[in-house]
Chain A
Amino acid sequence: MTIHRPGSAAATAPALVGAVAIIERAAAGDAESFDLLIRPRLDRLFRMAFAITRNESDARDAVQEACVSAWRELPRLRDRERLDSWIAQILVNACRGVLRRRRRVQVREIPADEISPAASARGRLVTAGPAEATGEVDAIRRAFERLDSGTRSLLVLHYVEERPLAEIGRILQAPVGTIKWRLSRARRALDRALEVEQR
Chain B
Amino acid sequence: MTAFDRDTLIRVALTPDDTIHAPAILGDEIHRAVRATPQRRPWLEVPRLGWPLQHSPLFLILLLAMLLVLLLGSLIVLSRLPAPARLTTYHGGPERTGVMAGPGPQGHPVIAWEAQRNGAFRVTIMPIVAKGRVFVADDSGTVGALDESDGDALWEASVGSPIRASPVWVDGLVVVGSDSGAVVALSETDGGEAWRFVAAGPVSASLAAVERTVYVGSEDTHLYALDAASGQLKWSLPVGGPITRGPAISGGVVYVGARGGRLSAVDAAGRATLWSVELGDGDVGTPAVSEGVVYVGRGIEAPAASPHDLVALSTHDGSLLWSFVSPAGRQVHLGAVGNDLIYAVSEDNSVYGLDRGTGRVVWGHETEGRVGSLAALVDGVLYVSSTDGTVRALGAATGTLHWTIAVEGEPTMPAVINGRVLVGTTRGKVHAIGGTEVVP
Contact surface of A with B, Cβ cutoff 8 Å: 1-5, 24, 27, 29, 31, 34-35, 38-39, 42-43, 45-47, 50-51, 56, 60, 63-64, 67-68, 71-76, 125-130, 133, 136-138, 140-141, 144, 155-156, 159-160, 187, 190
Contacting pair A45 B22 (CB below 8 A): yes
How big is chain B's contact interface, by range?
35 or more
Chain B residues in 8 Å Cβ range of A72: 37-40
Q: Which of B13, B30, B39, B45 contacts A64 (CB 8 A)?
A: B30
Contacting pair A56 B15 (CB below 8 A): no
Q: Which 5 A-B pairs have the closest CB atoms?
A: A46-B22, A140-B13, A127-B3, A137-B13, A67-B30
Distance from A164 Cβ to chain B, minimum over Cβ atoms (Å): 16
A130 to B42, CA, bound (A): 55
Tell whether A71 pairs with B37 under 8 Å between CB atoms, given A38-B30, A50-B20, A76-B42. Answer: yes
Q: Does B55 contact A (CB under 8 A)?
A: no
Chain A residues in 8 Å Cβ range of B37: 68, 71-72
A42 to B35, CA, bound (A): 17
Classify the secondary structure of A's interface with B.
Answer: helix
- Which of B9, B20, B31 counts the most chain A CB atoms within 10 A? B9
Tell whether A68 pairs with B21 under 8 Å between CB atoms, given A75-B39, A155-B10. Answer: no
In B1-39, the 8 Å CB interface with A consists of 1, 3-7, 9-18, 20-23, 26-27, 29-31, 33-35, 37-39
Known: A42-B27, A160-B11. 19 other contacts (CB 8 A): A4-B18, A24-B48, A39-B27, A47-B21, A47-B22, A60-B26, A64-B26, A67-B30, A68-B30, A71-B39, A75-B41, A75-B42, A76-B42, A125-B10, A129-B1, A133-B12, A141-B13, A144-B13, A190-B10
A65 to B12, CA, bound (A): 27
Chain A residues in 8 Å Cβ range of B7: 159
Distance from A115 Cβ to chain B, minimum over Cβ atoms (Å): 16
Tell whether A64 pairs with B29 under 8 Å between CB atoms, given A71-B34, A140-B14. Answer: yes
Q: From B13, which residue of chain A is reached at the shortest CB distance?
A: A140
Q: How many A-B residue pairs have CB under 8 A?
A: 128
Q: Which of A130, A133, A138, A159 contacts B14 (CB 8 A)?
A: A159
Chain A residues in 8 Å Cβ range of B41: 75-76
Distance from A175 Cβ to chain B, minimum over Cβ atoms (Å): 23
Contacting pair B21 A46 (CB below 8 A): yes
Chain B residues in 8 Å Cβ range of A51: 14-16
Contacting pair B10 A73 (CB below 8 A): no
Contacting pair A47 B6 (CB below 8 A): no
Contacting pair B42 A63 (CB below 8 A): no
Chain A residues in 8 Å Cβ range of B39: 27, 29, 71-75
Q: Which of A27, A35, A43, A140 contacts B10 (CB 8 A)?
A: A140
Contacting pair A3 B15 (CB below 8 A): yes
* 11 A–B pairs (Cβ distance < 8 Å), ordered by A: A3-B12, A3-B15, A35-B31, A46-B22, A64-B30, A74-B39, A75-B41, A126-B6, A133-B9, A136-B9, A159-B11
